[in-house]
Structure 1
Amino acid sequence: MNKIKLMSHLVAGYPTTELALTAARSLIRGGADILEIQLPFSDPSADGQAIQTACTKVLERGYKTSDGLAFIAQIHSEFPQIPIYLMSYGSLVYTPGVENFCKKAAEAGVKGMIIPDLPFDYDEGLTAACKKNGMINIPVAAPSMSAERLHKMAGAGFPYIYAALRVGITGTDTKIDQNTLDFLKKVSEGGSKVYGGFGISNGEQAKALASSVEAIVAGSVFVRIITENQNDESKLAQKVEAKARELTSL
Protein backbone atom coordinates (compact mmCIF):
# COMPACT_ATOMS: atom_id res chain seq x y z
CA MET A 1 0.00 0.00 0.00
CA ASN A 2 1.70 3.20 -1.18
CA LYS A 3 -1.10 5.49 -0.04
CA ILE A 4 -4.08 5.46 2.30
CA LYS A 5 -7.35 4.82 0.48
CA LEU A 6 -9.85 7.66 0.88
CA MET A 7 -13.59 7.79 0.49
CA SER A 8 -14.47 11.47 0.46
CA HIS A 9 -17.95 12.79 1.13
CA LEU A 10 -19.60 15.62 -0.80
CA VAL A 11 -23.08 17.14 -0.60
CA ALA A 12 -24.49 17.20 -4.14
CA GLY A 13 -24.89 20.76 -5.41
CA TYR A 14 -23.17 22.49 -2.48
CA PRO A 15 -22.67 25.42 -2.44
CA THR A 16 -23.45 25.56 -6.17
CA THR A 17 -23.40 22.82 -8.79
CA GLU A 18 -20.29 24.32 -10.40
CA LEU A 19 -18.37 24.63 -7.12
CA ALA A 20 -19.41 21.12 -6.09
CA LEU A 21 -17.98 19.84 -9.38
CA THR A 22 -14.78 21.80 -8.73
CA ALA A 23 -14.57 20.17 -5.30
CA ALA A 24 -15.13 16.68 -6.75
CA ARG A 25 -12.39 17.18 -9.34
CA SER A 26 -10.03 18.49 -6.65
CA LEU A 27 -10.73 15.51 -4.38
CA ILE A 28 -9.88 13.11 -7.18
CA ARG A 29 -6.71 15.05 -8.07
CA GLY A 30 -5.76 14.89 -4.38
CA GLY A 31 -6.04 11.10 -4.33
CA ALA A 32 -9.64 10.25 -3.36
CA ASP A 33 -10.38 6.68 -4.44
CA ILE A 34 -14.15 6.76 -3.90
CA LEU A 35 -16.66 9.61 -3.83
CA GLU A 36 -19.54 9.35 -1.37
CA ILE A 37 -22.12 11.82 -2.67
CA GLN A 38 -24.96 12.81 -0.38
CA LEU A 39 -28.37 13.79 -1.65
CA PRO A 40 -29.37 16.81 0.46
CA PHE A 41 -31.94 15.90 3.10
CA SER A 42 -34.02 18.10 5.38
CA ASP A 43 -33.76 16.12 8.62
CA PRO A 44 -30.53 14.08 8.66
CA SER A 45 -30.05 11.88 11.72
CA ALA A 46 -26.31 11.17 11.40
CA ASP A 47 -24.92 14.46 10.11
CA GLY A 48 -23.29 17.19 12.13
CA GLN A 49 -23.65 20.93 11.71
CA ALA A 50 -21.38 21.41 8.69
CA ILE A 51 -23.25 18.87 6.56
CA GLN A 52 -26.70 19.79 7.91
CA THR A 53 -26.10 23.44 7.00
CA ALA A 54 -24.84 22.49 3.54
CA CYS A 55 -27.96 20.35 2.94
CA THR A 56 -30.24 23.20 4.03
CA LYS A 57 -28.53 25.69 1.69
CA VAL A 58 -28.92 23.37 -1.30
CA LEU A 59 -32.56 22.52 -0.51
CA GLU A 60 -33.37 26.23 -0.28
CA ARG A 61 -32.61 26.41 -4.01
CA GLY A 62 -35.37 23.88 -4.70
CA TYR A 63 -32.84 21.12 -5.38
CA LYS A 64 -34.44 17.74 -6.11
CA THR A 65 -33.33 14.10 -6.17
CA SER A 66 -33.21 14.30 -9.97
CA ASP A 67 -30.72 17.22 -9.70
CA GLY A 68 -28.53 15.14 -7.39
CA LEU A 69 -28.58 12.19 -9.77
CA ALA A 70 -27.71 14.49 -12.70
CA PHE A 71 -24.75 15.81 -10.65
CA ILE A 72 -23.59 12.22 -10.02
CA ALA A 73 -24.00 11.36 -13.71
CA GLN A 74 -21.78 14.29 -14.70
CA ILE A 75 -19.00 13.24 -12.31
CA HIS A 76 -19.31 9.64 -13.48
CA SER A 77 -18.99 10.71 -17.11
CA GLU A 78 -15.80 12.65 -16.29
CA PHE A 79 -14.29 10.02 -14.00
CA PRO A 80 -15.74 6.61 -14.94
CA GLN A 81 -12.92 4.86 -13.07
CA ILE A 82 -13.90 6.38 -9.67
CA PRO A 83 -16.60 4.44 -7.77
CA ILE A 84 -19.45 6.67 -6.61
CA TYR A 85 -21.52 5.73 -3.57
CA LEU A 86 -24.79 7.52 -2.98
CA MET A 87 -25.49 8.46 0.63
CA SER A 88 -28.98 9.45 1.68
CA TYR A 89 -31.80 8.61 4.06
CA GLY A 90 -34.55 6.03 3.84
CA SER A 91 -37.47 8.26 2.94
CA LEU A 92 -35.81 9.60 -0.23
CA VAL A 93 -35.25 6.03 -1.40
CA TYR A 94 -38.56 4.60 -0.17
CA THR A 95 -40.93 7.33 -1.44
CA PRO A 96 -40.37 6.80 -5.20
CA GLY A 97 -40.08 3.03 -4.61
CA VAL A 98 -36.83 1.31 -3.67
CA GLU A 99 -36.58 -0.61 -6.94
CA ASN A 100 -37.29 2.50 -9.02
CA PHE A 101 -34.80 4.60 -7.04
CA CYS A 102 -32.04 1.99 -7.37
CA LYS A 103 -32.58 1.72 -11.12
CA LYS A 104 -32.22 5.49 -11.53
CA ALA A 105 -29.16 5.61 -9.25
CA ALA A 106 -27.45 2.82 -11.21
CA GLU A 107 -28.21 4.59 -14.51
CA ALA A 108 -26.48 7.72 -13.12
CA GLY A 109 -23.34 5.70 -12.39
CA VAL A 110 -23.79 4.87 -8.70
CA LYS A 111 -21.93 1.74 -7.57
CA GLY A 112 -23.16 1.51 -3.97
CA MET A 113 -25.75 2.86 -1.55
CA ILE A 114 -25.18 4.07 2.02
CA ILE A 115 -28.51 4.63 3.78
CA PRO A 116 -27.75 4.88 7.52
CA ASP A 117 -31.33 4.80 8.79
CA LEU A 118 -32.32 1.59 6.97
CA PRO A 119 -31.36 -1.35 9.24
CA PHE A 120 -29.35 -4.04 7.45
CA ASP A 121 -31.92 -6.75 8.23
CA TYR A 122 -35.07 -4.65 7.57
CA ASP A 123 -33.93 -2.64 4.58
CA GLU A 124 -37.21 -2.46 2.59
CA GLY A 125 -35.62 -4.56 -0.17
CA LEU A 126 -32.63 -2.24 -0.68
CA THR A 127 -29.95 -4.96 -0.76
CA ALA A 128 -31.90 -6.99 -3.32
CA ALA A 129 -32.67 -3.92 -5.48
CA CYS A 130 -29.00 -2.90 -5.40
CA LYS A 131 -27.92 -6.38 -6.49
CA LYS A 132 -30.48 -6.41 -9.31
CA ASN A 133 -29.07 -3.11 -10.61
CA GLY A 134 -25.36 -3.95 -10.31
CA MET A 135 -24.78 -2.00 -7.10
CA ILE A 136 -24.00 -2.93 -3.50
CA ASN A 137 -25.75 -1.92 -0.31
CA ILE A 138 -23.26 -0.78 2.35
CA PRO A 139 -24.85 -0.96 5.82
CA VAL A 140 -23.65 1.21 8.70
CA ALA A 141 -22.24 -0.30 11.90
CA ALA A 142 -22.03 1.82 15.06
CA PRO A 143 -20.23 1.25 18.38
CA SER A 144 -23.61 1.54 20.14
CA MET A 145 -24.86 -1.71 18.54
CA SER A 146 -25.15 -4.73 20.81
CA ALA A 147 -22.41 -7.36 20.42
CA GLU A 148 -25.03 -9.81 19.15
CA ARG A 149 -26.36 -7.44 16.48
CA LEU A 150 -22.87 -6.43 15.37
CA HIS A 151 -21.93 -10.11 15.04
CA LYS A 152 -25.08 -10.70 12.97
CA MET A 153 -24.25 -7.81 10.62
CA ALA A 154 -20.62 -8.89 10.28
CA GLY A 155 -21.74 -12.38 9.27
CA ALA A 156 -24.47 -11.29 6.84
CA GLY A 157 -22.23 -11.43 3.77
CA PHE A 158 -22.04 -7.74 2.84
CA PRO A 159 -18.97 -7.01 0.67
CA TYR A 160 -18.43 -3.73 2.56
CA ILE A 161 -19.62 -2.26 5.85
CA TYR A 162 -19.36 1.40 6.82
CA ALA A 163 -18.12 1.63 10.41
CA ALA A 164 -19.09 4.83 12.22
CA LEU A 165 -16.14 5.23 14.55
CA ARG A 166 -18.07 6.68 17.45
CA VAL A 167 -21.58 7.30 18.70
CA GLY A 168 -23.27 10.58 17.75
CA ILE A 169 -23.13 12.74 14.63
CA THR A 170 -20.44 13.49 12.09
CA GLY A 171 -18.04 16.38 12.18
CA THR A 172 -16.63 16.46 15.71
CA ASP A 173 -13.14 15.14 16.28
CA THR A 174 -12.68 11.41 16.78
CA LYS A 175 -9.96 9.87 18.90
CA ILE A 176 -8.56 6.67 17.39
CA ASP A 177 -7.75 4.37 20.31
CA GLN A 178 -7.67 0.66 21.10
CA ASN A 179 -11.46 0.59 21.51
CA THR A 180 -11.80 1.94 17.97
CA LEU A 181 -9.48 -0.73 16.57
CA ASP A 182 -11.26 -3.48 18.53
CA PHE A 183 -14.60 -2.30 17.14
CA LEU A 184 -13.24 -2.36 13.57
CA LYS A 185 -11.98 -5.90 14.12
CA LYS A 186 -15.46 -7.01 15.16
CA VAL A 187 -17.03 -5.32 12.12
CA SER A 188 -14.66 -7.18 9.78
CA GLU A 189 -14.83 -10.59 11.51
CA GLY A 190 -17.18 -12.06 8.89
CA GLY A 191 -14.95 -11.11 5.96
CA SER A 192 -16.56 -7.79 4.95
CA LYS A 193 -14.16 -5.00 4.01
CA VAL A 194 -14.61 -1.97 6.24
CA TYR A 195 -14.81 1.75 5.53
CA GLY A 196 -14.10 3.77 8.68
CA GLY A 197 -15.32 7.32 9.20
CA PHE A 198 -16.92 9.96 11.45
CA GLY A 199 -14.77 12.86 12.56
CA ILE A 200 -11.68 12.11 10.44
CA SER A 201 -9.97 15.39 9.64
CA ASN A 202 -6.19 14.96 9.69
CA GLY A 203 -3.37 12.75 8.49
CA GLU A 204 -2.55 11.47 11.96
CA GLN A 205 -6.01 9.93 12.36
CA ALA A 206 -5.83 8.53 8.82
CA LYS A 207 -2.49 6.81 9.54
CA ALA A 208 -3.81 5.38 12.82
CA LEU A 209 -6.74 3.81 10.95
CA ALA A 210 -5.07 2.81 7.69
CA SER A 211 -4.14 -0.79 8.52
CA SER A 212 -7.59 -1.57 10.00
CA VAL A 213 -9.82 -0.39 7.16
CA GLU A 214 -10.24 -0.74 3.41
CA ALA A 215 -10.53 3.06 3.20
CA ILE A 216 -10.90 5.98 5.57
CA VAL A 217 -13.97 8.19 5.16
CA ALA A 218 -13.80 11.98 5.51
CA GLY A 219 -16.66 14.39 4.95
CA SER A 220 -17.25 17.30 7.29
CA VAL A 221 -13.62 18.41 6.96
CA PHE A 222 -14.14 18.91 3.20
CA VAL A 223 -17.56 20.53 3.61
CA ARG A 224 -15.99 23.06 6.01
CA ILE A 225 -13.19 23.84 3.54
CA ILE A 226 -15.75 24.32 0.76
CA THR A 227 -17.87 26.59 2.98
CA GLU A 228 -14.89 28.74 4.04
CA ASN A 229 -13.62 29.17 0.46
CA GLN A 230 -16.81 29.32 -1.58
CA ASN A 231 -16.07 32.89 -2.71
CA ASP A 232 -12.70 31.92 -4.21
CA GLU A 233 -12.92 28.92 -6.53
CA SER A 234 -9.18 28.49 -7.10
CA LYS A 235 -8.47 28.61 -3.34
CA LEU A 236 -11.30 26.12 -2.73
CA ALA A 237 -9.81 23.74 -5.31
CA GLN A 238 -6.29 24.11 -3.91
CA LYS A 239 -7.32 23.55 -0.26
CA VAL A 240 -9.60 20.57 -0.98
CA GLU A 241 -6.85 18.91 -3.02
CA ALA A 242 -4.23 19.61 -0.31
CA LYS A 243 -6.43 18.11 2.42
CA ALA A 244 -7.08 15.00 0.32
CA ARG A 245 -3.31 14.61 -0.17
CA GLU A 246 -2.75 14.98 3.57
CA LEU A 247 -5.30 12.27 4.36
CA THR A 248 -3.95 9.83 1.78
CA SER A 249 -0.23 10.23 2.50
CA LEU A 250 1.42 7.48 4.50
Structure 2
Amino acid sequence: MSKIKLMSHLVAGYPTDELSFTAARALVNGGADILEIQLPFSDPSADGPAIQTACTKVLQRGYKTKDGLAFIERLHKEFPQVTIYLMSYGSLVYTPGVENFCKRAAQAGVKGMIIPDLPFDYDEGLTAACHANGMENIPVAAPSMSKERLAKLSKAGFPYIYAALRTGITGTDTIIEESTLEFLKAVAQGGSKVYGGFGISSGEQAKALADNVEAIVAGSVFVKIITKNENDADKLYKEVRAKAEELTGKTNK
Protein backbone atom coordinates (compact mmCIF):
# COMPACT_ATOMS: atom_id res chain seq x y z
CA MET A 1 0.00 0.00 0.00
CA SER A 2 1.29 3.47 -0.86
CA LYS A 3 1.94 6.03 1.84
CA ILE A 4 -1.12 7.76 3.27
CA LYS A 5 -0.92 11.56 3.26
CA LEU A 6 -1.17 13.04 6.73
CA MET A 7 -2.12 16.52 7.90
CA SER A 8 -1.15 16.67 11.56
CA HIS A 9 -2.52 19.25 13.96
CA LEU A 10 -0.44 20.93 16.67
CA VAL A 11 -1.24 23.70 19.13
CA ALA A 12 1.50 26.32 18.79
CA GLY A 13 3.59 26.55 21.94
CA TYR A 14 2.11 23.51 23.72
CA PRO A 15 3.32 22.69 26.30
CA THR A 16 6.34 24.89 25.55
CA ASP A 17 7.70 26.21 22.27
CA GLU A 18 10.63 23.78 22.47
CA LEU A 19 8.50 20.71 23.12
CA SER A 20 6.02 21.80 20.47
CA PHE A 21 8.92 22.08 18.04
CA THR A 22 10.15 18.62 19.09
CA ALA A 23 6.68 17.25 18.32
CA ALA A 24 6.67 18.97 14.92
CA ARG A 25 10.05 17.44 14.09
CA ALA A 26 8.71 14.02 15.08
CA LEU A 27 5.66 14.51 12.86
CA VAL A 28 7.74 15.52 9.85
CA ASN A 29 10.19 12.65 10.37
CA GLY A 30 7.23 10.31 10.84
CA GLY A 31 5.88 11.23 7.41
CA ALA A 32 3.47 14.15 7.93
CA ASP A 33 2.98 16.07 4.68
CA ILE A 34 1.17 19.05 6.18
CA LEU A 35 1.47 20.72 9.58
CA GLU A 36 -1.77 22.34 10.71
CA ILE A 37 -0.73 24.77 13.43
CA GLN A 38 -3.44 26.09 15.72
CA LEU A 39 -3.12 29.47 17.36
CA PRO A 40 -4.36 28.99 20.94
CA PHE A 41 -7.87 30.33 21.46
CA SER A 42 -9.82 30.82 24.67
CA ASP A 43 -13.27 29.65 23.56
CA PRO A 44 -12.96 27.13 20.72
CA SER A 45 -16.22 25.84 19.24
CA ALA A 46 -15.00 22.62 17.62
CA ASP A 47 -12.10 21.43 19.78
CA GLY A 48 -12.48 18.63 22.29
CA PRO A 49 -11.03 18.51 25.82
CA ALA A 50 -7.45 17.62 24.84
CA ILE A 51 -7.03 20.59 22.50
CA GLN A 52 -9.05 22.97 24.69
CA THR A 53 -6.83 22.17 27.68
CA ALA A 54 -3.68 22.61 25.58
CA CYS A 55 -4.89 26.03 24.38
CA THR A 56 -5.72 27.11 27.93
CA LYS A 57 -2.29 26.16 29.23
CA VAL A 58 -0.50 28.06 26.46
CA LEU A 59 -2.67 31.15 26.94
CA GLN A 60 -1.91 31.10 30.67
CA ARG A 61 1.71 31.79 29.73
CA GLY A 62 0.62 35.04 28.09
CA TYR A 63 1.04 33.61 24.58
CA LYS A 64 -0.01 36.03 21.84
CA THR A 65 -0.74 35.78 18.12
CA LYS A 66 2.74 37.15 17.37
CA ASP A 67 4.26 34.28 19.38
CA GLY A 68 2.29 31.74 17.37
CA LEU A 69 3.35 33.31 14.09
CA ALA A 70 6.99 33.36 15.25
CA PHE A 71 6.67 29.64 16.02
CA ILE A 72 5.27 29.00 12.54
CA GLU A 73 8.07 31.02 10.97
CA ARG A 74 10.63 28.89 12.82
CA LEU A 75 8.93 25.71 11.57
CA HIS A 76 8.90 27.00 8.01
CA LYS A 77 12.62 27.77 8.10
CA GLU A 78 13.43 24.35 9.56
CA PHE A 79 11.10 22.37 7.27
CA PRO A 80 10.68 24.43 4.06
CA GLN A 81 9.46 21.32 2.19
CA VAL A 82 6.44 20.89 4.49
CA THR A 83 3.18 22.73 3.82
CA ILE A 84 1.98 24.73 6.82
CA TYR A 85 -1.65 25.64 7.40
CA LEU A 86 -2.82 27.95 10.16
CA MET A 87 -5.93 26.99 12.09
CA SER A 88 -7.70 29.45 14.36
CA TYR A 89 -11.00 31.17 14.96
CA GLY A 90 -12.53 34.23 13.40
CA SER A 91 -11.96 36.79 16.13
CA LEU A 92 -8.18 36.32 16.11
CA VAL A 93 -8.16 36.99 12.37
CA TYR A 94 -10.75 39.77 12.38
CA THR A 95 -9.43 41.80 15.33
CA PRO A 96 -6.14 42.94 13.72
CA GLY A 97 -7.85 43.18 10.31
CA VAL A 98 -8.25 40.24 7.94
CA GLU A 99 -5.86 41.59 5.30
CA ASN A 100 -3.23 42.49 7.89
CA PHE A 101 -3.49 39.07 9.54
CA CYS A 102 -3.22 37.22 6.24
CA LYS A 103 -0.17 39.25 5.23
CA ARG A 104 1.56 38.42 8.53
CA ALA A 105 0.64 34.74 8.23
CA ALA A 106 1.97 34.49 4.68
CA GLN A 107 5.22 36.18 5.69
CA ALA A 108 5.62 33.50 8.39
CA GLY A 109 5.30 30.73 5.78
CA VAL A 110 1.61 29.82 5.98
CA LYS A 111 0.09 28.38 2.78
CA GLY A 112 -3.53 27.99 3.88
CA MET A 113 -6.00 29.18 6.51
CA ILE A 114 -8.55 26.99 8.30
CA ILE A 115 -11.02 29.16 10.25
CA PRO A 116 -13.98 26.91 11.17
CA ASP A 117 -16.32 29.63 12.43
CA LEU A 118 -16.11 31.83 9.31
CA PRO A 119 -18.73 30.52 6.83
CA PHE A 120 -17.42 30.12 3.29
CA ASP A 121 -19.94 32.61 1.87
CA TYR A 122 -19.66 35.19 4.69
CA ASP A 123 -15.95 35.07 5.35
CA GLU A 124 -15.21 38.75 6.09
CA GLY A 125 -12.95 38.89 3.02
CA LEU A 126 -10.76 35.97 4.12
CA THR A 127 -10.67 34.18 0.75
CA ALA A 128 -9.70 37.34 -1.11
CA ALA A 129 -7.06 38.25 1.47
CA CYS A 130 -5.61 34.74 1.29
CA HIS A 131 -5.35 34.89 -2.50
CA ALA A 132 -3.74 38.34 -2.35
CA ASN A 133 -1.01 36.81 -0.18
CA GLY A 134 -0.45 33.53 -2.01
CA MET A 135 -2.51 31.40 0.37
CA GLU A 136 -5.72 29.39 0.20
CA ASN A 137 -8.77 29.66 2.43
CA ILE A 138 -9.79 26.10 3.33
CA PRO A 139 -13.44 26.09 4.42
CA VAL A 140 -14.89 23.44 6.70
CA ALA A 141 -17.71 21.11 5.66
CA ALA A 142 -19.74 19.29 8.34
CA PRO A 143 -22.25 16.42 8.09
CA SER A 144 -24.82 18.69 9.73
CA MET A 145 -24.95 20.89 6.61
CA SER A 146 -28.05 20.66 4.47
CA LYS A 147 -27.58 18.95 1.09
CA GLU A 148 -28.22 22.27 -0.61
CA ARG A 149 -25.60 24.14 1.38
CA LEU A 150 -23.06 21.35 1.01
CA ALA A 151 -23.60 21.37 -2.76
CA LYS A 152 -23.11 25.14 -2.80
CA LEU A 153 -19.83 24.82 -0.89
CA SER A 154 -18.59 21.94 -3.03
CA LYS A 155 -19.15 23.98 -6.20
CA ALA A 156 -17.77 27.28 -4.88
CA GLY A 157 -14.35 26.71 -6.46
CA PHE A 158 -12.19 26.11 -3.38
CA PRO A 159 -9.11 24.00 -4.21
CA TYR A 160 -9.33 22.30 -0.80
CA ILE A 161 -12.12 21.67 1.69
CA TYR A 162 -11.68 20.34 5.22
CA ALA A 163 -14.36 17.72 5.91
CA ALA A 164 -15.22 17.21 9.57
CA LEU A 165 -16.23 13.56 9.59
CA ARG A 166 -18.92 13.97 12.21
CA THR A 167 -20.70 16.65 14.19
CA GLY A 168 -19.67 17.64 17.69
CA ILE A 169 -16.13 18.15 18.96
CA THR A 170 -12.77 16.58 18.19
CA GLY A 171 -11.02 13.96 20.23
CA THR A 172 -13.39 10.99 20.43
CA ASP A 173 -13.03 8.13 17.98
CA THR A 174 -14.83 8.39 14.67
CA ILE A 175 -16.26 5.26 13.04
CA ILE A 176 -15.71 5.24 9.28
CA GLU A 177 -19.07 4.11 7.92
CA GLU A 178 -20.70 4.08 4.49
CA SER A 179 -22.41 7.35 5.42
CA THR A 180 -18.95 8.87 6.11
CA LEU A 181 -17.76 7.93 2.63
CA GLU A 182 -20.98 9.25 1.05
CA PHE A 183 -20.45 12.56 2.84
CA LEU A 184 -16.88 12.77 1.52
CA LYS A 185 -18.12 12.14 -2.02
CA ALA A 186 -20.62 14.95 -1.62
CA VAL A 187 -17.90 17.33 -0.40
CA ALA A 188 -15.73 16.44 -3.40
CA GLN A 189 -18.48 16.60 -6.04
CA GLY A 190 -17.37 20.01 -7.30
CA GLY A 191 -13.76 18.97 -7.81
CA SER A 192 -12.20 20.22 -4.57
CA LYS A 193 -9.57 18.07 -2.90
CA VAL A 194 -10.77 16.97 0.53
CA TYR A 195 -8.97 16.71 3.85
CA GLY A 196 -10.82 14.38 6.22
CA GLY A 197 -10.50 14.49 9.98
CA PHE A 198 -12.14 14.58 13.44
CA GLY A 199 -11.39 11.68 15.74
CA ILE A 200 -8.76 9.90 13.63
CA SER A 201 -6.31 8.06 15.86
CA SER A 202 -5.43 4.68 14.34
CA GLY A 203 -3.85 3.20 11.26
CA GLU A 204 -7.04 1.25 10.59
CA GLN A 205 -9.10 4.45 10.42
CA ALA A 206 -6.48 6.05 8.18
CA LYS A 207 -6.58 3.13 5.75
CA ALA A 208 -10.38 3.19 5.66
CA LEU A 209 -10.31 6.87 4.71
CA ALA A 210 -7.21 7.09 2.53
CA ASP A 211 -8.78 6.38 -0.87
CA ASN A 212 -11.49 8.97 -0.31
CA VAL A 213 -9.43 11.99 0.78
CA GLU A 214 -6.42 14.04 -0.30
CA ALA A 215 -5.04 13.61 3.24
CA ILE A 216 -6.25 12.37 6.59
CA VAL A 217 -6.23 14.85 9.47
CA ALA A 218 -5.22 13.89 13.02
CA GLY A 219 -4.87 16.20 15.99
CA SER A 220 -6.17 15.20 19.40
CA VAL A 221 -4.27 11.90 19.25
CA PHE A 222 -0.99 13.82 19.03
CA VAL A 223 -1.97 16.36 21.68
CA LYS A 224 -2.71 13.49 24.08
CA ILE A 225 0.70 11.92 23.41
CA ILE A 226 2.40 15.29 23.99
CA THR A 227 0.50 15.80 27.25
CA LYS A 228 1.42 12.34 28.50
CA ASN A 229 5.11 12.86 27.78
CA GLU A 230 5.58 16.57 28.50
CA ASN A 231 8.29 15.77 31.06
CA ASP A 232 10.28 13.50 28.75
CA ALA A 233 11.25 15.08 25.42
CA ASP A 234 12.88 11.91 24.06
CA LYS A 235 9.82 9.78 24.75
CA LEU A 236 7.55 12.51 23.37
CA TYR A 237 9.52 12.51 20.13
CA LYS A 238 9.52 8.71 19.80
CA GLU A 239 5.81 8.28 20.51
CA VAL A 240 4.67 11.14 18.26
CA ARG A 241 6.85 9.86 15.43
CA ALA A 242 5.60 6.28 15.92
CA LYS A 243 1.96 7.41 15.76
CA ALA A 244 2.66 9.45 12.60
CA GLU A 245 4.28 6.41 11.02
CA GLU A 246 1.27 4.28 11.98
CA LEU A 247 -1.18 6.76 10.44
CA THR A 248 0.81 7.14 7.22
CA GLY A 249 1.12 3.38 6.81
CA LYS A 250 4.87 3.23 7.46
CA THR A 251 4.13 0.76 10.24
CA ASN A 252 1.22 -1.59 10.66
CA LYS A 253 -0.56 -1.75 14.00
Q: Give TM-score scaled by structure 2 length.
A: 0.98
Alignment partner, residue 238 of structure 1:
238
Find the counterpart in structure 2 of residue 34 from structure 1: 34
Equivalence for 1:209:
209
Distance in 2 between the 1:135 and 1:83 partners? 11
Q: Give the equivalent residue in structure 2 for 1:94.
A: 94
Task: Report what 2:60 is aligned to.
Answer: 60
3-state secondary structure, aligned to 1:110: coil
- What's the counterpart of residue 118 of structure 2? 118
What is the alpha-carbon distance in structure 1 between the residues aligned to residue 74 and residue 95 of structure 2?
A: 24
Q: Distance in 2 between matches of 1:127 and 1:104?
A: 15
Q: SS of the residue aligned with 2:31? A: coil
C-alpha separation between the residues in 2 aligned to 1:83 and 1:128? 20
Aligned to 2:17: 17
Aligned: 1:222 with 2:236: no
**Local SS of the residue matching 1:245:** helix
Deviation by residue 1:152-204 (Cα, 9 ceiling, x = unmatched)? 00000000000000000000110000000000000000000000000000000
User: Residue in 1 aligned with 2:173?
Assistant: 173
| Secondary structure at 2:200 match in 1 | coil
Identity %: 80
How much does 1:144 deviate? 0.1
> 1:72-124, CA deviations, whole angstroms, 9 ceiling, x for partnerless residues?
00000001110000000000000000000000000000000000000000000
State how far apart, in whole Å, the 2-side matches of 1:122 and 1:233 are.
Answer: 42
Q: Which amino acid aligns with 1:210?
A: A
Partner of 2:84: 84
CA drift at 1:136: 0.1
User: Which amino acid is 1:31 matched to?
Assistant: G
Equivalent residue number for residue 140 of structure 2: 140
Cα distance in 1 for residues equivalent to 2:141 and 2:130: 19
Q: CA deviation at 1:246?
A: 0.1
Distance in 2 of aligned mates of 1:183 and 1:212 = 10
Corresponding residue SS for 2:111:
strand
Tell me, what secondary structure is at the counterpart of 1:22? Answer: helix
Measure the CA separation in 1 of the matches of 2:207 and 2:231. 32
Whether 1:190 and 2:190 are equivalent positions in the alignment is yes
Aligned to 1:73: 73
1-structure distance, mates of 2:141, 2:76:
27
SS in 2 for 1:118: coil
Indicate the SS of the match to 1:149. helix
Q: Letter of the aligned partner of 1:32 in structure 2?
A: A
Residue 2 of structure 1 deviates from its aligned partner by 1.9
Runs of at least 5 residues in structure 2 that lack an aligned partner in the other structure: none
Shift of residue 135, structure 1, vs aligned partner: 0.1
* Gap regions ≥5 residues in structure 1: none
Q: Distance in 1 between matches of 2:135 and 2:230?
A: 33
Letter in structure 2 aligned against 1:28? V
SS of the residue aligned with 2:35? strand
Residues in 1 aligned to 2:240 and 2:77: alpha-carbon distance in whole angstroms: 21
Cα distance in structure 2, aligned partners of 1:218 and 1:242: 14
Q: Which runs of 4+ in 1 moved over 4 A?
A: none
TM-score of the superposed pair, with normalisation by structure 1: 0.99
